[in-house]
Structure 1
Amino acid sequence: MPVDLRGRSVLTLDELTAEEIHYLLRLVADLKKKKRTGTELKQLSTKNIALLCERDSIHARAAFEVAAHDQGANVTLIGPSTGHTRYRDSVKDTARFLGRLYDAIGYIGHSQSAVEEVARWARVPVYNGMTDESHPTQTLADLVTMQQSSEKPLDDMIVAFLGDGRSNVARSLAVASSKLGIDLRIISPPSFWPEAPFVERVTSVARDSGGQITVLEHVGTGILGADFICTAPWFTEGDVRWAERVRQLAPFAIRENAMEATDNPHTKLMHSLPAWHWREDEAGARIAKRFGVECMEVCDGVFESKSSIVFDQAENRMPAIKALLVATLVS
């Protein structure tokens, strides 16, 4: 049966089947190739898209804006910098108003319940550009990057995620991996493991797809054979108790010895950005002095190495979002 995503919102990857995810990945690759060769058609020239930003993210915002403009759509940024604030309008009222004017809404914020409420009341496609719970556009970009960086099919890949296993990146990667047959290892301190019901759910889905989702604490066991080692920011806006988070997560920073310990000479580094990797800048020096660590998340030597595909990954956020726009808005 042909895949048809027209008129659909994408708030998490839970809402998509494996076939729909594979369809989007093929569309991402196709749109990326057409832009590179100058053969891309503007299929959204009559569309208006609202980008509702309730948090700062240069990566999400830039990717949405370029994706829409490439396809000929008009984009309106709406957020605190443009005078929009939750204190003046409820989510429900904002969604009902924007849905009358715009053909689609991109949401970048903290609350998963907020983006779900936008989708409930807007009556136009809504895309989750990022919430604290889910990051579907990042994961689509990650999957495309893996495909472009390995000769293996996705269902033959071993992916290790180090760091905060409860993060939006880790959770979305687990959902996608469970559907696509990927062997994913989430390697975190136990206090940063995803909640048990979530792990049980993705593990059950993985059994049906031939994949495997493992949550563990031992880095050496988790990274052995990994084709990709992934991580994500340790901190988001509003996080507290930094010292305790650094203390627990420090052993899970990606250093040169971790890349070597995979016993796979082709292991690649992935990071969803922004990354704390350079202690010589002002913020890095302050953190190194305060917490006594030489690196957080990933060391500069690994981040800048030939094994790093971080910026290929970051670039792919744009065609990933473009694929969602085209798949859901083109008649």
Structure 2
Amino acid sequence: MSDHLLALEAFSGRQLQALIDRAIELKGESKAGKRQQQLAGKTVCLLFDKPSTRTRVSFESATYGLDGKVIFMSSKDSQLGRGEPLKDTARVLARYVDGIVVRTFGQEIVEELARYSGVPVINALTDLHHPCQILSDMMTVIEHKGALAPLKVVWIGDGNNMANSWIEAASVLGFSLTLACPEGFDPDGEILKRAQERADKPIVLVRDPAEAIADADVVNVDVWASMGQEEEQEARAKLFAPYQLDKRLLAGAKGDAIVLHCLPAHREEEITEEVLEGPQSVVFDQAENKMHIHKAILEHFVG
């Protein structure tokens, strides 16, 4: 297994499944009140260019829950915001901490940090990938639906970093994935091509959300304008309107299909209040599982 977690395609299905299985075990231990000390004596640096609620708190809670310590730094608190070379930042931080969790813009930033860091670098989000989030999403699916392989997973909306990581996950773990994106808002073409060449099950891109959602076991949506795209919000709202997950569209999925959303959700935009708060929604289980999957990731890469 790689020393760093930058993107899911670098791992085998067995390796990703082991992380998910371990997260489920750690969740059970936590619920049972078992003390977890796998990061005792370890320090993790959270280096965030982008603001965050769930990602920051879940990584901090996971670190403290494993008896580790956390140093949080935003870009304005570090030399990243003042032009220090990334290779210098990586080599210095690696002498102070045992792992670096990065939430930033370009994928090239985490890749360069990993290239020069003497400690593990974990991608907590870039504009291209969101691997930790997808691992927690798949953990949630397994808890509710069992094994991933027999399932049809559907992505509806923008072909963003989440979509890219779902594509990689499908190719590695061997489940069917259908994406419905408006023209001009497709996932990364190279990621899609590599995944389709590697995949055992279909990974399909269509335009019609009703076509995509037919007989789905898992339905996943996200905001229409990601962080840094706020000025596009109004234009995207008009273009993406047919992709809203409402009760009518959801009716095309299987009756026991589950709904995922990584949050924050814009109610009555990409998803209606009725669906988000409805019986098929598992979004708050999904949000909790970020902390448990982060424990498994930190235990493996840092502990």
Q: Is 2:112 aligned against 1:127? A: no
From 9, 12, 16, the equivalent of 1:17 is 12
Return closer, same or farther for 1:233/1:84 CA change in 2, 3 Å cut-off. farther
- Pairwise CA distance, 1:80: 4.0
Q: Point out where structure 1 has 5 or more consecutive residues left out of the alignment.
A: 278-294
Contact 1:180 1:211 in 2 (8 A): no
Amino acid at match of 1:157: L
Q: Aligned residue for 1:290?
A: none
Q: Quick check: 1:144–1:316 contact (8 Å CA) kept in 2?
A: yes
Q: How many corresponding residue pairs?
A: 302
Contact 1:128 1:135 in 2 (8 A): yes
Match of 1:233 in 2: 223
Bigger Rg, structure 1 or 2: 1
Residue from 181, 202, 214 that aligns with 2:174: 181
Matched, 1:32 2:22: no
User: Which residue is 2:238 aligned to?
Assistant: 247
Pick which of 32-41 and 101-110 moved more. Answer: 32-41
Distance in 2 separating the partners of 1:162 and 1:180: 20
Q: Distance in 1 between matches of 2:75 and 2:107?
A: 19
Paired position in structure 2 for 1:287: none
d(CA) in 2 for partners of 1:232 and 1:13?
19
CA distance, structure 1, for counterparts of residue 228 and residue 196 of structure 2: 31
Q: Which one of the candidate residues 263, 267, 282 is aligned to 1:309?
A: 282
Q: Write the distance in 2 (CA, Å) between the matches of 1:194 and 1:203.
A: 13
Aligned-residue offset at 1:233: 1.8
Specify the code of the residue in structure 2 equivalent to 1:261.
G
* 8 A Cα contact 1:160 1:222, kept in partner: yes
Query: Which position in structure 1 is the counterpart of 2:86?
Result: 91
By how many angstroms is 1:191 displaced? Answer: 1.1
- Deviation (angstroms), 1:118: 1.1
Which stretch of the first structure deviates more once superposed, 137-146 or 89-98? 89-98
Contact 1:128 1:136 in 2 (8 A): yes
Structure 2: gaps (5+ residues): none
Fraction of identical pairs, as percent: 30
Look up the match of 2:148. 154
- 1:164 maps to a residue whose letter is D
> Which secondary structure state, in structure 2, belongs to the residue aligned with residue 194 of structure 1?
coil
Using the size of structure 1 for normalisation, the TM-score is: 0.88
Q: Distance in 2 between matches of 1:307 and 1:78?
A: 37
Aligned-partner Cα distance in 2 for 1:39–1:195: 42
How far did residue 321 of structure 1 move?
A: 1.1
CA positional deviation for 1:203: 0.8
| Equivalent residue for 1:322, pick from 272, 295, 299 | 295
- Listed one character per residue, the Cα deviations across residues 246-284 of structure 1 (whole Å, up to 9, x for unaligned) are 22211111011011122x11011100111101xxxxxxx
CA distance in 1, matches of 2:190, 2:248: 33
The answer as to whether partners of 1:159 and 1:185 remain within 8 angstroms in 2 is yes
Cα deviation, 1:198-236, whole Å, max 9, x if unaligned, reads 222111111xxx321000011221101111110112222
Alignment counterpart, residue 257 of structure 1, candidates 224, 248, 253: 248
Are 1:78 and 1:84, in contact at CA under 8 Å, matched by a contact in 2?
no
1:83 shift after superposition: 5.5
Matched with 2:257 is: 267
Asked if residue 222 in structure 1 is aligned to residue 215 in structure 2, the reply is no
Deviation at 1:86, TM superposition (A): 1.8
In the alignment, is residue 164 of structure 1 matched against residue 154 of structure 2? Answer: no
State the alpha-carbon separation in 2 of the partners of residues 237 and 37 from structure 1: 37
Write the distance in 2 (CA, Å) between the matches of 1:236 and 1:135.
12
CA distance in structure 2 between the partners assigned to 1:118 and 1:38 by the alignment: 36
Partner secondary structure for residue 51 of structure 1: strand
CA displacement at 1:88 relative to structure 2: 4.8
User: 2:222·2:263 contact (CA, 8 Å) conserved in 1?
Assistant: yes
Matched, 1:61 2:34: no
When normalised by structure 2's length, the TM-score is 0.96
Deviation at 1:181, TM superposition (A): 1.3
